[in-house]
Amino acid sequence: MTHPQPGNPQAAQARAKIEAMKRQFEQKRNIAEALSRITHKIGVYSGKGGVGKTTVAVNLAVTLAQEGERVGILDVDIDCPNVVRAMKVARRPTATDDRKIIPSEQFGVKVMSMGFFQENEDEAIIWRGPMVHNAINQLLQSTDWGELDYLIVDLPPGTSDSPLTVMQSLELDGFVVVTTPQELAKVDAKRSINMIRKLNLSVLGVVENLSGGVFGSGAGEDLAGEMGLKFLGRIELRGDYRDTSRPTVLNSSAVLEEYSAVAQKARDSLAAAAAR
């Protein structure tokens, strides 16, 4: 059996692979250390954009904070980071002497988003896979969250490189999958559930957003039944959402009641997953 000799292409490739494995291990260790004081990490995920994933993530985070939990929200939707606007955050994060980033805080929730690093909110972020991967990993390693009961993670939609990077890097405790009543949204949500399961991760349940009125209802509950998942609840389509001055759970008792029910069912799913 021949072994790669120094100076030949096989040896160079072997060294490159070893170095890449070392970097990956170091990244994972740094991320685990950065997140070590967070009790629960919940991803909010959808198979497509436009179903209100960020709205659900923001209102769920604020609801948990209103209930006395220590909460952060991490926006890693690289293409369309909307959490900063949805949370009405005016102050940018600060940096420490050891180059750690301290999240901004609004409505009792710590906030970190790729949107903070855009010079212009209207600017299109056009990045290839490796740049997306590096940006997400750097954000995960550099943010100092302190002690949190819950970190809500607003993931990129779809089943491509961006959500895959987050799922492989973050070790989330479970996912809340968001759909709307339309047939195509349900199909795409099923794809996202299958992606989570292929990675041997836990789905906490399904939320049906924009329910009722012209869109109808029932797709979320049907999807949960088909996939053997908990149905976390319906978020009704209401005029209350026209007031965007702050997250809607702070303006509407009816919306807060809906999200409180979703939060409790998500907690139950977390407890059941931990028991398994």
Token pair recorded at residue 45: 């995920």
pLDDT at 70: 98
Degrees (nearest 5) of the Cα angle 4, 18, 197?
125
pLDDT at 4: 53
How far apart CA 66 and CA 68 sit, in angstroms, is 5
54-67 in b/e burial notation, b at 16+ Cβ within 10 A? bbbbbbbbbbbbbe
Backbone φ, ψ for residue 52 (5° rounding): 90, 25
Render each residue's pLDDT in the chain as its tens digit; 276 residues. Answer: 555 555 677 877 878 778 777 777 787 888 888 899 999 999 999 998 899 999 999 999 999 999 999 999 999 988 789 999 999 998 999 998 888 999 999 999 999 998 888 777 777 677 776 787 788 888 889 999 999 999 999 999 988 878 888 898 888 999 999 999 999 999 999 999 999 999 999 999 999 999 998 999 999 999 999 999 999 999 999 999 999 999 999 999 999 999 999 999 999 999 998 887
Tell me the H-state helices in the chain: 9-34, 53-66, 83-86, 129-142, 161-170, 183-198, 219-227, 253-275
pLDDT at 184: 95
* Residues above pLDDT 70, as percent of the chain: 96
pLDDT at 123: 73
Backbone φ, ψ for residue 15 (5° rounding): -65, -40
User: Which residue carries 């990993």 as its tokens?
Assistant: 137
Beta strands in 58-158 (DSSP E): 71-75, 94-95, 101-102, 104-106, 109-113, 148-154
In words, the CATH class of domain 10-275 is alpha beta
For residue 125, what is the enclosing H or E element?
Answer: none
pLDDT at 32: 86
Query: pLDDT tens digit string along 95-140?
Result: 988 889 999 999 999 999 988 887 777 776 777 767 877 888 888 8
Report CA-CA distances (Å) from 105 to 10, 115, 172, 191, 230. 51, 15, 22, 34, 31
Sorted by where each begins, the domain ranges of the chain are: 10-275
pLDDT at 178: 98
Backbone φ, ψ for residue 192 (5° rounding): -65, -35
pLDDT at 6: 56
CB 38 within 8 A of CB 148: yes
- Taking Cα atoms as reference points, which of 179, 216, 175, 219 lies closest to residue 197? 175
- How is residue 117 annotated by DSSP? G
